[in-house]
Amino acid sequence: MRHICTWLTILDLSLLWPCVISMNFLISFSQQTKHVNHIRVKREWSWEPLYVSEEQEVNKALYVGQIKSDSDKQDGSIKYILSGDGAGTIFTMNENSGKISVLKKLDREEKSFYTLRAQAINRFTGVSVEAESEFVIKILDINDNEPQFINGPYVAEVPEMSPKGTYVMQVTAIDLDDPAYGSNARLVYSILQGQPQFSIEIKSGIIRVASQIDRETKDQYHVIIQAKDMIGNVGALSATATVTINVSDINDNAPKFQQKTYNMSIIESASVGEIVGVILADDNDIGRNAEIIYSIEERGDYSMFNISTDLITQEGIITLNKVVDFERRSRRYNIQVRAQNKFQMELFDTAIIRIYVVDVDEPPVFIKKEYFMEILENATIGSFIGSVTAKDPDITNSTVRYGILQKKHSRSFEIYSNNGSIITARPLDRESDPWHNITVTATEAKNAAHVSYVPVHIRIIDVNDNAPQLQIEYDSYVCEKSRAGQHVETISAVDKDEPTLSLPFSFILPPEDTSNANFTVIDNGDNTATVLAVRDGYSYQETPLFYLPIIISDNGTPALSSTNTLTIKVCDCGTDNNKESCRQGGFFFKFLNSGAFIAISVFTFLILVLALLLHMKFQKNHVALTEKGEDLKENIVKYDDEGGGEEDTEAFDMIGLRHHTVMREHKTKRTIRTDIQSMYRLSLGLGPDVAIFREYLSEKLEEANTDPSILPLDSLHSYAFEGTGSTSGSLSSIESSGSNIGPYF
């Protein structure tokens, strides 16, 4: 063992650890031999350092090194066996000499070392001469890999005007070669493009600002960085990367006007708020740093104009603050405007603006914006109401002509075209139109296109020209059992005139009616009056209606009055003497409260009795015809034209449809009773004569019972009675004459 360790001291220190492993295997092998032969035999391995350079072209087996046992006598009795990584495919061993060769090209970056095992046995007995030993073949590195930048692409940002040495960013490159072997993987960085603005640290790859940079000059730089291995020596490999460095803006520029003096103009007819012109100051900064605020400094005519900032275009918009007048005021205005940075007030610029007023031919101008006038409603046609005035504002002072726009109310007025005086053209009525709104025009005589307009409001003043009237059409009643002094109705009046002219109202009876024996009127002094009964008791039968004339006067100058008639109806009012029942029931209620109710009841009862008797008689005749076996003839007549009157009945005999013995006798025309009251009398509440109705119905019932020509069918007879006063008499079919066939039901 002492000899083996002495040999290994000559080898590279990097191979010491395989030696230790080999010693462990030799110790193990010695122990195994001891157990087998029971005799301790001291044997040793010996080999050369084993290295293979990568990327070597191998056309035939290339010698690497040799391992052998110190017990090998070179007599061919020992056989060497190789196993482990790549044994037989990458590496091969001569079994007689122990020489190791490589069979193909190797790549250290793929595999940097191979671990193999060697064994020495007796060729004849197969017994191990040496214990199996493990060893390593190391692949030597060559500079065959270029550096590679990682974490790209590289983009950085740095503020403009940054001081020298300001950190920008760091770039990193790697080399796949062996960093522990020579300088193949030792990198250095340099700038190929981007100086003198930027620099880079050779070993770390940190990029820094090398000189002052201005965004307004250049806002982006493309810096090319190179990474080279072998510390940049000859034969070194390199790679490059581009770093995009954006220069961010700082607020370091003041706004600048494009010119120091601006000339603008505005017409004198421009209204307040109208745009005069636009100015623009440039700021070389960007974004928020370029935002500008415009203002007018308190110099010159600063109060005549305003300036505002357009937040989108960053323009200063000048507008008119006060009306300008070419004829009366200055014809040129001077203002000084200021453009300053929104966030850095000390960054600003100023400019002078001259604004010239341009004369225009303006339309006439009315002295007032609107006119208010008044006139009495009873004013005669041609009465003066008022006048309007307009003037030409121009220096020429042209003549003005007046007119009225033709509208609904304008036809009631006229205007003098030369002086603007307004007069009435039609009668006026305050009750129809209390106000009239017209539009007056003013036109230049020399230029009809220049027209101005002004509204004129004309109020019609009321005069007392309407007499008061009853407020409503009263539905007044007086009970038949009323007592003298009892309340009948409370009335009020209305007047179309204004209350100040008409109130208060007064209520009186006409002079010829002051001694009215039925009713009287009491003026309440509050524009109402009370109608009272004068006597006890009223008769609906004698006088159902009373007409009470009432004079209503107003308090105007002169006072006007009107006679109004109050209709008062007499009502039964029932047992409780309540007039409300009269209003609720109306005519029908009064009618039922008279004797007509009894008459209608009796008439209805007689009609029912008559219908019952007729029904019984029809049933009896039907049975008699059936017993005699007489058949009724039936004819079917078909019509296919519009009809020809009586000619259409020639197809059959109408008499055959009746019983042969039943022929109605001719009746003489009944004399009309003139003492029967008409329905008109009933409508007046006078009531019918019950006895006369009873006699009339009895006669009709007797005729029906004795009529031998009645049909054997149920029938309902209907009678109509016109009553007294009708020259036509009864319309009943029983009274019909001129036919022997009889009535049809």
Tell me what the mean pLDDT of segment 213-221 comes to. 92
What's the Rg (C-alpha) of the chain? 69
Q: For residue 533, what pLDDT band results from cuts at 50, 70 and 90?
A: confident
Residue 294 reports pLDDT greater than 80 = yes
Who's near 404: CB < 8 A, 6+ residues apart?
410, 413, 414, 415, 422, 438, 439, 440, 441
Q: For residue 640, what pLDDT band results from cuts at 50, 70 and 90?
A: low
- Angle, alpha carbons 469-473-479 (nearest 5°): 120
Closest by CA position to 694, among listed 598, 622, 627 = 598
pLDDT at 712: 52
Per the model's pLDDT, the better-predicted residue between 414 and 360 turns out to be 414
The CATH architecture of the domain made up of 148-248 is Sandwich (2.60)
Sheet holding 62-69, edge to edge: 45-47, 62-69, 99-102, 91-93
Tell me what the mean pLDDT of segment 137-160 comes to. 90
Distance between CA 520 and CA 531 in Å, rounded?
6
Question: What is the residue-averaged pLDDT of the chain?
Answer: 78
What's the topology of domain 2-140?
Answer: Immunoglobulin-like (2.60.40)
Residue 445 reports pLDDT greater than 50 = yes
How many helical (H) and strand (E) elements, i.e. helices and strands, does the chain have? 7, 42
pLDDT at 422: 93
How many other C-beta atoms can be found within 10 angstroms of the C-beta atom of residue 599? 19
pLDDT at 669: 45
| The two structure tokens encoding residue 291 | 């935002």
Which one of 126-130, 567-571, 709-713 scores highest in mean pLDDT? 567-571
CATH number of the domain at 256-358, please? 2.60.40.60
pLDDT at 577: 73
Decide if 422 contacts 412 (C-beta within 8 A). Answer: no
Per the model's pLDDT, the better-predicted residue between 548 and 587 turns out to be 548
Tell me what the mean pLDDT of segment 543-555 comes to. 88
What class does CATH assign to 365-461? mainly beta
DSSP-based three-state secondary structure for 197 = coil
Residue type, 102: V
Residue 55 reports pLDDT greater than 90 = no
Decide if 503 contacts 554 (C-beta within 8 A). Answer: yes
Residue 735 reports pLDDT greater than 70 = no
DSSP-based three-state secondary structure for 718 = coil
pLDDT at 25: 34
pLDDT at 292: 93
| The two structure tokens encoding residue 55 | 């990327």
- Burial of residue 376 (CB within 10 Å: 0-12, 13-18, 19+) is middle
User: Which of 56-65, 515-524, 604-613, 643-652 comes out lowest in average pLDDT?
Assistant: 643-652
Q: For residue 110, what pLDDT band results from cuts at 50, 70 and 90?
A: confident
Decide if 431 contacts 464 (C-beta within 8 A). Answer: no
Tell me what the mean pLDDT of segment 654-674 comes to. 46
Residue 139 reports pLDDT greater than 50 = yes
What's the topology of domain 469-592?
Answer: Immunoglobulin-like (2.60.40)
CA distances from 106 to 143, 153, 382, 607, 661 (A): 14, 34, 129, 142, 154
Which one of 231-235, 325-329, 623-627 scores highest in mean pLDDT? 231-235
Who's near 219: CB < 8 A, 6+ residues apart?
246, 247, 249
Distance between CA 257 and CA 279 in Å, rounded?
8
pLDDT at 717: 55
In terms of DSSP bridges, do strands 91-93 and 167-170 run parallel, antiparallel, or are they unpaired?
A: unpaired
Place of tokens 């509440």: 685
Residue 667 reports pLDDT greater than 80 = no
Tell me what the mean pLDDT of segment 457-469 comes to. 87
DSSP-based three-state secondary structure for 53 = strand
Per the model's pLDDT, the better-predicted residue between 680 and 205 turns out to be 205
Q: For residue 36, what pLDDT band results from cuts at 50, 70 and 90?
A: very low
Per-residue burial over 540-563, b = 16 or more CB atoms within 10 Å of its CB, e = otherwise: beeeeebebebbbbbbbeeebebe
Dihedral in degrees, nearest 10, Cα atoms 235, 236, 240, 245: -130
Per the model's pLDDT, the better-predicted residue between 256 and 38 turns out to be 256
Residue 657 reports pLDDT greater than 80 = no
Domain boundaries, the chain: 2-140, 148-248, 256-358, 365-461, 469-592, 597-735
Residue 167 reports pLDDT greater than 90 = yes
| Fold matches, 148-248 and 256-358 | yes
| The two structure tokens encoding residue 157 | 């940002």
User: Which of 128-142, 532-546, 654-668 comes out lowest in average pLDDT?
Assistant: 654-668
DSSP-based three-state secondary structure for 452 = strand
Which one of 306-315, 402-411, 462-471, 727-736 scores highest in mean pLDDT? 306-315
Tell me what the mean pLDDT of segment 603-618 comes to. 85
Dihedral in degrees, nearest 10, Cα atoms 56, 61, 65, 71: 170
Residue type, 53: S
pTM for the structure as a whole = 0.42
The secondary structure of 345-406, three-state, reads: CCCEEEEEEEEEEECCCCCCEECCCCEEEEEECCCCCCCEEEECCEECCCCCCCCEEEEECC
